[in-house]
Amino acid sequence: MVEHDIHKDGGAQRLEDLKGMVRDGRVDTLVVALTDMQGRLMGKRVQAQAFLNGVIDHGAHFCTYLLGTDMEMNTPDGFALMNWETGYGDWIASPVWQTLRVLPWLDRTALVLADTIDEETHTEIPVSPRTILKRQVAKATELGLTIKAGSELEYYVLKETWDQIARAGFGIPERFGYYNEDYNLLQATKAEPLHRLLRNLMTEARIPIEFSKGEAAPGQHEVNIRFDEVLESADRTVIFKHGAKEIAWLNGWGLTFMAKPDASWTGSSGHLHLSVWDAEGNRSLMADETSDAPYQMSGLMRHFLAGMMALSRELAVFIAPSINSYKRFAALSWAPVNVVWGRDNRTTGFRVVGHGQGLHIEDRFPGGDMNAYLTYAAMVGAGLYGIEHELEPPAEFKGNGYRATGCPRMPRALYEAIGELERSAAAVEIFGRDVVDHYLNAARVEQETYDAVVHNWERERYLERS
């Protein structure tokens, strides 16, 4: 493991606490997890006595292919760091002990997130999602800034489990509910046994849930995870998504974060709330009481917002990663389409909310299917780009943001987002050529796979009539 990660932010104490829990039997299984390109947790389960015997003192080995697969875990060509010519060797999952959590939904089980390390050079793997975000955090630190963030995640509760849906051929699932449950307490009560587990078990696992509520469709719900420094918030988000699926499955529910499970359903969002603070993280730098800018936005806030807006199209692959992601961007759907900003305006892509120390930016473009590390990295990187280049945002859009004209629109499909990223010099400046090429290849593989499949819609439309 990387030595500095043990001692930072209480990591050493958490490691000692874990050893104590293993010795007295409170924990008998340790999950060592890393996040793959798609935002899923991958890893190993370590038996308790083997842990005490030092089996992961230097981290857990994993095959390099885990950071170079598609959604089906295939190993496509085009990834420079992992391919058949390199032999698909091992990297190290190095536990980050300050991320350690006991998982109350799994018996006597703890989880620790890991950074991905090259065993020979002891350097982090540059295309690893958590490392990509860490680099943006380091850049902010160099500028004397702390980025704080919080996630809102929407999901659908389904009457069938994933196994039942698969056996039925992946038809349209039946949702838990039959009318819009936005803020509707009676409708939400019907699935409250699940939502209560999510709120309380996640909070017990150091993922503090502030609210849950019904969302704008039958069976759709939302949770708000309390804000913190951005890396911690991303850690919480990926664990929440993984844990929510585990809790749902263990209790006989279906649950999905898919952006648009059906054309007639409201899309599921993954809104990000971002603010910039001083180096110590004690004072927000978003508001300036002496400023005559709208809503007393500081110059730094304006630059940060401008960077996010300027690069949303170019970095869309990191925000909306799949074919399905772009079907959520639909007019009058509660998912934005136009890159405009407004004060407390849910029709705009960027919503400025709060006052004083609470003033911040809500990015409404990401969906529930986001990989939180990549999406946060893209928006933090874009915001810092705006600060470094002193960009200014366009004028506030007032009114129905879906009707905005003369402004950029988010890509309509993955292939359009690929083209934007291919042309983006800013993306290379922010992430480096290696990261951009890696995720471009992943997006191209996804697009080519989709293009090669004949869909039910095509048979319905063309089988008889062509």
- Taking the chain (466 residues) in runs of 10, the rounded mean pLDDT of each run is 46 94 97 97 96 93 94 94 91 96 98 95 96 98 98 96 91 90 91 96 98 94 97 98 97 96 96 98 95 93 98 98 97 94 97 96 98 98 98 97 96 98 98 98 97 94 94
- Would you state the pLDDT for residue 292? 86
Neighbours of 271 (CB within 10 A): 21
Torsions phi, psi for 432 (to 5 deg):
95, 150
Q: Which fold has domain 3-123?
A: Ubiquitin-like (UB roll) (3.10.20)
The total number of residues shown for the chain amounts to: 466
- Would you state the pLDDT for residue 2? 35
Task: Give residue 204's identity as a one-letter amino acid code.
Answer: E
CA-nearest of 282, 414, 393 to 339 is 393
- Would you state the pLDDT for residue 332? 87
Please state the pTM of the whole predicted model: 0.95
Q: Report the alpha-carbon distance of residue 150 to residue 233 in Å, rounded.
A: 6
> CATH 3.30.590.10 spans which residues of the chain?
137-432
> CATH 3.10.20.70 spans which residues of the chain?
3-123
Q: Report the alpha-carbon distance of residue 261 to residue 365 in Å, rounded.
A: 17
Instruction: Report residue 209 CA to chain centroid gap.
Output: 16
Q: Are the C-beta atoms of 447 and 415 separated by less than 8 Å?
A: yes
Any alpha helices (H) in 107-179, and if so which ranges? 129-142, 162-167
Task: Give residue 446's identity as a one-letter amino acid code.
Answer: E
DSSP state of 297: B
Q: Are the C-beta atoms of 367 and 358 separated by less than 8 Å?
A: no
Task: Give residue 464's identity as a one-letter amino acid code.
Answer: E
Domain covering 137-432 in this structure, CATH number = 3.30.590.10
- Would you state the pLDDT for residue 9? 59
Tokens, residue 462: 């063309």
Q: Are the C-beta atoms of 266 and 327 separated by less than 8 Å?
A: no
Rg (C-alpha) for the chain, rounded Å, is 22
In sequence order, what DSSP letters do the residues of 193-244 get, joined into one string?
HHHHHHHHHHHHTT--EEEEEE-SSTTEEEEEEPPEEHHHHHHHHHHHHHHH
